[in-house]
Amino acid sequence: MGQRSRLLALIWAYVGEMVLAAIVVVAAWRFVPSASLLAIVADASGAWTAVLSACAGLAVAVFLGFYAMTQNDFGVWLRRRRSFGVYALAFCVPFGVFVLALLVLRVVRSHTSYALVTVAAFYLLIYSAIMLITLLVNLYEFSVLALKFKEVSSRNNGSIT
């Protein structure tokens, strides 16, 4: 896969998650009264903050684990195949989304009358849930790749091309 097509695939993956979150928000808005949705976000903003804080901590731990796991031949192999940056981004972006959602929830807690901010918070909560699932899937796939690398490397006496 060429560099340009890899970049387009990467962009599409992130845009696809944003679109999915928007579809879920629109569907929720269609079937649940808007006052109820706004109340779910505003009234439970403290609980959502706790959940998002835990998610942000998980994202940091996953990134640190990724970094530690790539300080060897596996990391060199990933860099040679131009996959290191893709995984690094996959493990960093969720943290940014979780922090952004936390900041917006902070505004919601301070200014419950800002309906637009509450809608943005609802969207970011849905997007954060999608990002959490994606983070866990990426972690699983990365771990499988690392184990396969170790297996093949040990069969080839440490040599992988």
Please check whether residue 62 is in contact with residue 135, taking contact to mean a CB–CB distance below 8 angstroms.
yes
Alpha-carbon distance values, 57 to 14, 42, 63, 93, 131 (Å):
21, 23, 10, 13, 14
- 116 domain-assigned: yes
84-140 pLDDT tens trace: 999 999 999 999 999 999 999 988 887 766 778 888 999 999 999 999 999 999 999
Domain count, the chain: 1
Cβ-contact 141, 118 below 8 angstroms: no
Task: Confirm whether 81 is domain-assigned.
Answer: yes
Tokens 């989304």 correspond to 97
- Six-digit token pair at 8? 């387009």
Tokens standing for residue 55: 């998610």
CB 37 within 8 A of CB 125: no
Token pair for residue 94? Answer: 């969720």
Q: pTM for the complete prediction? A: 0.88
Is 161 part of a structural domain of the chain? no
Residue 66 falls within a domain, yes or no?
Answer: yes
Is 160 within a domain?
no
Is 139 inside any structural domain? yes
Structural domain span for residue 66: 3-155
